[in-house]
Amino acid sequence: MGGGRSYSVGGSLVRYFVTKDAQYNPLDFKAEDHKARLQQLSQWMDMTDPDLSAFRARGGKLIMRENLSDKGNSPQTGIDYYDAVVAKMGQEKVDQFFMAYAVPGLPHTSAGLPAGSANAPSYGTPGAIDFIGLLDDWVEKDKRPANDLLLTEGVQNFV
């Protein structure tokens, strides 16, 4: 995402989530005027609590993927959250239920970049993976995902 498209996403967020006014002009937005609403949205949407003990105790499994060329949201946010979970719970416990992957070169919500695309190597950058299948195998068969996953176009492979 970039340029005008990033603006349209931000504009929609301000209009429909923050101000709840479809006619609101996002160019008039001042965060200090909407502090209470922004804090409310942050409680609902932001990853702020690194204590996932209750989630882990219920048998929860979590796979997080951050595309490192994401312009829609900073991939550093997810990386920082993972680090906070590890700091809070310890690496050994986290490894039992939380896998985090960082994918270089891919933008927001990308399933891959074809060869010849901007910011892609000559062979392209694959990005598709079946995370539901990985989670299902982890929960149902206790088959933890590999530390390194090979992203492909529609097929999952383990390295």
Domain count, the chain: 2
CA distances from 140 to 35, 66, 95, 144 (A): 43, 25, 17, 10
Q: Label residue 104 exposed, middle or buried (CB < 10 Å: 0-12, 13-18, 19+).
A: exposed
Residue 27: inside a domain, yes or no?
yes
Q: Please write the tens of the pLDDT for every residue from 94-139.
A: 999 999 988 877 777 666 666 666 666 555 566 677 888 899 999 9
What is the C-alpha to C-alpha distance for residues 104 and 127, in angstroms, rounded to an integer?
10
- What distance in Å separates the CA atoms of residue 28 and residue 7, rounded to the nearest whole number? 13
Lowest-confidence range among 31-35, 105-109, 154-158?
154-158
pLDDT tens, residue by residue, 76-93: 888 999 999 999 999 999
| 24 occurs within a structural domain | yes
CA dihedral sign, ordered 25, 31, 36, 39: positive
Task: Give the domain range for residue 33.
Answer: 8-45
In a domain, 3, yes or no: no
Whether 152 maps to a domain, the answer reads no
pLDDT in tens, 64-73: 988 887 877 7
Asked whether residue 149 carries a pLDDT value surpassing 80, the answer given is no
